[in-house]
């Protein structure tokens, strides 16, 4: 049995009151809170090590380099990558997707095809639209049904030699739906030579990731959603796949040789890491991975699954409350509306007054909102420190909002 109360004591922010009420933090899909081990790692880096990496011969620079490269190895192990140089530090999921969508440009011709899904966050839509504008390629979108389940049979006829990349998320941030990425990857391998990219922004905090087992080419996630500082993120790329791509940013770190006539690029991972990285943040990302691995991913998954079941059961008892994708296999987040009373943001404001933090609105997924013909939803999202009592307070606050807005 996990001692959630003990875990909670490791998160100083949770002891706060908001609007005179104990904080119930259920906006983890937007950004999770940070444990003291992560905060102290980051603080200690600035107090005792702070120096640039891979550049200096002096002791602090070497220490900073050692610590950051150790964090890279922790990430490698966390997602079971074959090599540490397949791990690229970024500032988040958005940067990782943009990096690939830009770096792949030279491999894309007019009328080639890029496949995404209906359930994508804007950051897994817009970079591909920009790539299509640059190259004349076409974007195809896997449809979903009214339970937010992707209709992946279309792939049987869509995948062919024109398909250059299939990029989908593992868990939808708006609905919490877990997508059938194993089947999507298997079909893509069977019917095309396309790259596969997985947006793991919402799965890395909740599910065990194994990139070798998944057999994806690229996988991206953000540190700040999994207990690490903001401005940290990871792009994993299979060695053979990354080697086919052009660099994204040019600058320091990413060159082997540079002259006015010609520049040659550094080996992986540095070819994709131009400029000074977020050294303290990356080291603290390593501490966040230690935190999660100490609890164990299967324990995290089990606890959050129980929270999801409890929340679904109790929220669905509220008359007039609609849970989106209620029948789908979901993790991390539950999205709902009080039908006929106010809009999602009105509900969110009342919840905030009661100390309950949730996200309301379109969650950067306007196509999903258009599908359901709504402006937005109320989204409660979970982390390891949430309790059944948090869910009770959420339900109570939603009932109060319903009374106030009716």
C-alpha span between 237 and 366 (Å, rounded): 29
Contact flag: residue 93 with ligand C6P (CB under 6 A): yes
- Our finding on whether 380 is near ligand C6P (CB under 6 A) is no
Residues paired with 140 in a beta bridge: 115
CB of 201 to ligand C6P, least distance (A): 3
Q: Residue 128 or residue 192: which is nearer to ligand C6P going by CB?
A: 128
Of 139, 124, 140, 127, nearest to 101 by C-alpha is: 127
Candidate residues 41, 65, 222, 337; the one interacting with ligand C6P per rule CB under 6 A: 222
For 339, residues 6+ apart whose C-beta sits below 8 A from its C-beta are: 320, 321, 322
Nearer to ligand C6P, 97 or 338 (CB): 97
Please, what is the angle between helix 279-295 and helix 36-44, to 10°? 150
Catalytic annotation on 216? no
Q: Least separation, in Å, of the C-beta of 320 and ligand C6P?
A: 25
Q: Does 335 bind ligand C6P (CB under 6 A)?
A: no
Q: Which stretch binds ligand C6P (CB under 6 A): 73-81, 86-94, 257-265, 348-356?
A: 86-94
Catalytic residue among 132, 216, 258, 364: 364
DSSP 142-197: E-B-TTS-B-GGGHHHH-STTEEEEEEESB-TTT-BBP-HHHHHHHHHHH---EEE
Q: Burial level of 17, CB count in 10 A (0-12/13-18/19+)?
A: exposed
| By CB under 6 A, residue 30 contacts ligand C6P | yes
Considering the rule CB under 6 A, would residue 187 count as an interface residue with ligand C6P?
A: no
Interface stretch with ligand C6P, choices 89-97, 143-151, 262-270, 385-393 (CB under 6 A):
89-97
In the block, which residue shows the tokens 């790259």? 195
CB of 111 to ligand C6P, least distance (A): 28
Supply the minimum distance, in Å, between the C-beta of residue 225 and ligand C6P: 7
Member of 107, 295, 364, 374 binding ligand C6P (CB under 6 A): 364
92 touches ligand C6P by CB under 6 A: yes
Q: Which tokens is 323 given?
A: 């849970």
Which residues lie below 8 Å from residue 137, measured CB to CB, with a gap of 6+?
Answer: 108, 109, 110, 111, 112, 113, 114, 131, 164
In the window 112-131, what residues touch ligand C6P (CB under 6 A)? 121, 123-124
Least distance to ligand C6P from the beta carbon of 170, Å?
8
In the complex, minimum distance from the CB of residue 256 to ligand C6P, in angstroms, rounded to a whole number: 29
CA angle 267, 197, 360 (to 5 degrees): 120
How far is residue 286 from each of residues 91, 263, 393, measured CA to CA in Å?
14, 33, 33
Catalytic residues: 364
Which residues contribute to the site for ligand C6P (CB under 6 A)? 29-30, 92-94, 121, 123-124, 169, 173, 199, 201-202, 222, 359, 363-364
């Amino acid at each position: 049995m996990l001692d959630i109360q003990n875990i909670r004591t490791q998160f100083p922010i949770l002891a706060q009151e908001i609007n005179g009420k104990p904080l119930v933090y259920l906006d983890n899909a937007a950004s999770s809170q940070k444990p003291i081990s992560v905060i102290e790692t980051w603080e200690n880096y600035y107090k005792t090590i702070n120096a640039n990496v891979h550049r200096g011969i002096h002791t602090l620079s070497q220490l900073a380099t050692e610590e950051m490269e150790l964090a890279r190895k922790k990430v490698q192990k966390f997602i079971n990558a074959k090599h540490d140089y397949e791990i690229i530090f970024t500032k988040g999921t958005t940067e990782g997707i943009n990096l690939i969508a830009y770096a792949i440009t030279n491999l894309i011709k007019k009328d080639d095809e890029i496949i995404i899904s209906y359930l994508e966050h804007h950051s897994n839509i817009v970079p591909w639209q920009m790539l299509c504008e640059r190259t004349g390629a076409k974007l195809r979108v896997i449809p979903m049904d009214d339970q937010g389940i992707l209709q992946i049979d279309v792939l049987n006829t869509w995948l062919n030699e024109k398909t250059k990349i299939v990029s989908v998320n593992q868990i939808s941030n708006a609905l919490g739906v877990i997508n059938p990425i194993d089947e999507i990857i298997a079909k893509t391998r069977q019917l095309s030579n396309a790259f596969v990219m997985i947006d793991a922004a919402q799965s890395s905090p909740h599910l065990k990731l194994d990139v070798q087992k998944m057999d994806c080419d690229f996988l991206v996630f953000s540190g700040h959603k999994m207990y690490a500082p903001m401005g940290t993120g990871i792009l994993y790329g299979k060695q053979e796949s990354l080697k086919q791509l052009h660099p994204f940013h040019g600058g320091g770190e990413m060159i082997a040789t540079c002259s006015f006539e010609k520049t040659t690029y550094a080996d992986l991972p540095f070819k994709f890491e131009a400029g000074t990285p977020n050294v303290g943040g990356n080291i603290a990302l390593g501490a966040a991975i230690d935190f999660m691995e100490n609890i164990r991913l299967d324990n995290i998954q089990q606890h959050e699954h129980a929270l999801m079941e409890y929340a679904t059961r109790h929220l669905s008892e509220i008359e007039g409350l609609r849970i989106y994708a209620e029948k789908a296999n979901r993790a991390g987040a539950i999205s709902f509306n009080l039908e006929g009373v106010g809009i999602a943001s009105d509900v969110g404001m009342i919840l905030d007054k009661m100390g309950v933090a949730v996200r309301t609105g379109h969650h950067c997924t306007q196509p999903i909102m258009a599908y359901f013909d709504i402006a937005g939803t109320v989204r409660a999202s979970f982390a390891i420190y949430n309790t059944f009592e948090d869910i009770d307070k959420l339900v109570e606050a939603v009932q109060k909002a319903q009374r106030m807005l009716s």
